[in-house]
């Protein structure tokens, strides 16, 4: 499992940097300031959770368990739903994509709670 989490962390980190660069250099003249801010939020949260997946990869090697696995999947699902829905909203200007975003945010919260639970259960 550590290899999977490391691969997902790396891929998401790569795409978050690419999205941020695209926003900074390719979208400023094509997108309203409001939508550009939404796009940047999507990239920022994708990067935060790519870094969280790096932590999951480390924990999956050092202290594997169901909470660590749950955290990894929750962060991955959260990235897809939260950041993905915001990217889709910006690309299409279909506001209904914004209704998916809180589901992704909930997945992020589940991931952090699962990490907290795993830390609590770890042996010193």
Q: What is the CA radius of gyration of the chain?
A: 16
Position of tokens 């790396």? 10
Mean pLDDT lowest among 26-30, 52-56, 111-115: 26-30
Tokens 């955290």 appear where?
A: 71
Distance separating alpha carbons of residues 20 and 24, to the nearest angstrom:
6
Residue 79 to residue 12: CA distance in whole angstroms: 8
Candidates 57, 54, 27; CA nearest to 42 is 27
Please report the pLDDT score of residue 123 as a whole number. Answer: 74
pLDDT in tens, 60-102: 999 999 999 999 999 999 999 999 999 999 999 999 999 999 9
pTM of the model: 0.93
The number of beta carbons lying within 10 Å of the beta carbon of residue 64 is 13
Confidence of residue 48 (pLDDT cuts 50, 70, 90): very high
Q: What is the mean pLDDT of the chain?
A: 94
């Amino acid at each position: 499992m550590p290899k999977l989490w490391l691969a997902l962390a790396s891929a998401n980190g790569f795409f978050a940097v690419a999205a941020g660069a695209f926003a900074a250099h390719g979208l400023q003249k094509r997108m309203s300031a409001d939508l550009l801010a939404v796009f940047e939020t999507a990239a920022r949260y994708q990067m935060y959770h790519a870094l969280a997946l790096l932590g999951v990869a480390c924990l999956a090697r050092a202290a594997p368990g169901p909470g660590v696995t749950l955290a990894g999947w929750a962060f991955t699902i959260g990235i897809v739903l939260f950041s993905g829905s915001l990217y889709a909203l910006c690309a299409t200007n279909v506001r209904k994509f914004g209704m998916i975003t809180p589901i992704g945010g909930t997945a992020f919260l589940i991931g952090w709670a699962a990490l907290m639970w795993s830390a609590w259960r770890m042996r010193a």
